Structure 1
């Protein structure tokens, strides 16, 4: 009895940690699968994501380790038919009540889940030799604000979907070798294609929204992958949908790698006598760009740590501000005399 209570306590702690890490994020979104995904689809999605974010590949990377924990927690629920059913019907609260009521837990930690899934095999050994459909790649413009703070975008997706059709079709075709006697004691090796009879299928076009999570600091060309959401393949595995991130033009800032560039216009008086000035950053926090000295036209000043966040890091790039000086279009004779007297 005491052992059961201990196991229950461990499972509740594990589940509480999972829920605190996920912060309300859907388990299906974390594994990048649709809500009605099959067990095989969930396993394949888990395999690819777990290999990508495994701590051995991302040493010292806290964000990657956090993602690895999320992936394992999501898989721990969705790979269990009982827990998945409770989650689908009642969400996270249902799982908490299930655990509190003595529901069974796996008793496995994150590394146990990973090892039990991969059986200690290498990444290369886990790559299956499966016929796949074509990958679908499209570029998505992300705002600098989303790339600075993180965000999500809903995108309409249309693709071919396999549906049942009348009749039968040849499937699972393979070449079988047999020997044909061509004379006394003489045989010839022959090859024959053998196929099974499977239910017929057809392609239909369907559309739906997908949610693309924009992570802080993502660079141009980085991809958000939705496994098996590309072009389907009859008797095979669908390709992947790859959303390639591209930075949308911004009206105030220009991005170069992890740095930001902007231009600020000041008056001639401000350039000569100094000025107090702030600019709004992408998240609306003020950046003090004041100067007590002289600012020459097209001068560039660096503001350390005010650039873009680095992907999967707490560090940030720098902000470079170029100052344009607005000269007066005309001066009176009296103004000219006074300027000459001041400047010598």
Structure 2
């Protein structure tokens, strides 16, 4: 529900109720993927496999993503405070940035090392590699089974499901490489599998990096054209100007918008300003696909605007 204060500010503070069942599924999936990380890390040291090392980093990034999802689901149970008005909404953004950096580093290393190993193949024991690959795939399938039934519940669950599914593909690549090595002795199969996994994670890393930078830099959310927002608001009766118009993302699923809207002076004398405020909110909600959970609209007179802004900014 929107609240209006005396300054014309409209605040939407609708707490999302955390689903304890969803949190439990995420926690179980995180524990499974954490086991994968440990097992594959040990396996990469024992076998010297590039594919297994790359897949370990992939699983580590997935585990951190699941951990953030668990934390986010837990934080949703906490009410906002005066010190943390947005709670921990951006913790997932910071973690995603760390994931992106990790994946880019590992992907770059895998590409460089993979090219070197194509010319100088490293001896990798196929049987041991197969064992660790199967452990990873089985654990990933278990995590997929845990998340599948509730994967459309919210953003966290969808992201977690896709992360685990993607990691399962990496484990499958390790298994195929192990079988090829064990049956044919073709050692470059491990390198090819490593390059395949790198090809899976590098695009994801760039996508994560781009999305997190957009949020941290407070860029306008996708699907929102502020010039169109301005034009629609200006079409409303009694609206004379729109300035200080901003829109950004606090975190996933939490877009915000703010604006100063100049209306006719007689709107305040007649008590019509609240109706104009409601019309502005309805306009934004109707014309734009992003559902702004928090809108701050200041309705003001031209005189107040003139005191706030230099004349060159009025246009």
Q: TM-score range by the shorter chain?
A: under 0.3
Normalized per residue, which structure has more helix?
A: 2
Higher relative contact order (CA 8 A, sep 6+): 2
Report the TM-score when normalising by structure 2.
0.28
Normalized per residue, which structure has more strand?
A: 1
